[in-house]
Amino acid sequence: MLRIHAYDQDRLVSVAENISVEHQLPVADPAAAAPAVIWYDLITPTSEEERLVGERLGIAVPTIDEMEDIELSARLYQEDGAEFMTMTVLTRPDAGNPHKVPVTFIVKGSVLVTVRHAEPRPFDAFLARARKANGTGYHSANGEMIMTGLIESTIDRMADTLERLGNDIDQISREVFEAKADKSNKKTRDLQELIRAIGQKGEFITIVRESLVSVARVVAYYGSLDGVDRKLSKEMRQRLKLLQRDATSLGDHSAFLSGKINFLLDATLGLINLEQNQIIKIFSVASVVFLPPTLVASIYGMNFKYQPELEWHYGYHFAIVFMIFSMVMPYLYFRRKGWL
């Protein structure tokens, strides 16, 4: 899908959508009567759509395989007079199975091209806001301003995601340290479920941190071009500084949450070990408690001919009382020592 947007007075307007190969792309001509095109949005594009945009702007639109390359030189580079910047964006954070997808920003002159093979919600949120009067926050707009608006919307989305993750982790923390169950096996099963939940949140935070790192790299790279390859306005430099600061602060917060996740994982594993040790201790004490009466029963179970107690009238009762006494005494001793 190919969506084409222009900036008309104080809002973003849609010029065309789903352009086919037979159609002619709108011309980005500021002198024309129609508003100038400033944003080509390629969503899971076909090869023909990539070719159309590439021919119009004189660039080579990267493929999905090129976008997924993790080398820094393949994600941040200049080519054909344009800046190519690829960052990782979080998708479907509310669905419980978040994914990361690459999104490429291509800035050439005053025009922005975005290439994405998913539809992250920050893009829709920014577009809905930019279509309103003064929705972009700029008195005039060009491609780089649209890019910073999209990155800002992405950061806001990740901030909301981290806030929700923090609340979920706090709930898990309460369940870990306030877990009470009548039966030990039920409590162990509950802790095992908590370990699974902790693992899911830990993977979630890892994806968010990776996305934040990629955002910070894109912002730092574009800011480094100021005065070298292109002249940035004062407003743009300020906006980039704010984005860099926000990405850094969110990265620090995600690191804090990651540390808390590791602490909860260690605490949960420790509680499971304590439960298992408690069970082993009970079996150990039980074996020690029943050892003396077993010894007594073994002695009086021997079949020697000359055994004085065999002729006692109360010999059986004496043996039973003796076994009970030998069992109660170790039990009381363990209770007094606090081992039970």
Q: Is the pLDDT of residue 30 over 70?
A: no
304-323 tens-digit pLDDT: 777 777 777 777 888 888 88
Q: Is the pLDDT of residue 339 over 60?
A: yes
CB 113 within 8 A of CB 147: no
Pairing of strands 99-108, 111-116: antiparallel
CB 5 within 8 A of CB 11: no
CB 71 within 8 A of CB 217: no
| Average pLDDT score over residue span 89-100 | 72
What percentage of the chain reaches a pLDDT higher than 90? 13
List CB contacts of 261: < 8 A, sequence separation 6 or more: 169, 198, 201, 202, 205
Other Cβ atoms within 10 Å of 270 Cβ, number: 12
Helix, strand or coil, per DSSP, at residue 195 = helix
Residue tagged 């994982």 (tokens): 265
**Does CATH number 3.30.460.20 belong to domain 2-276?**
yes
- pTM score, whole prediction: 0.74
221-264 tens-digit pLDDT: 888 887 776 787 888 888 889 999 999 999 899 999 999 999 98
Q: Is the pLDDT of residue 105 over 90?
A: yes
* Mean pLDDT over each residue of the chain, to the nearest integer: 81
Residues of the chain with CATH 3.30.460.20: 2-276
More confident site: 100 or 33: 100
Q: Is the pLDDT of residue 337 over 90?
A: no
Q: Is the pLDDT of residue 93 over 70?
A: no
d(C-alpha 146, C-alpha 36), whole Å: 14
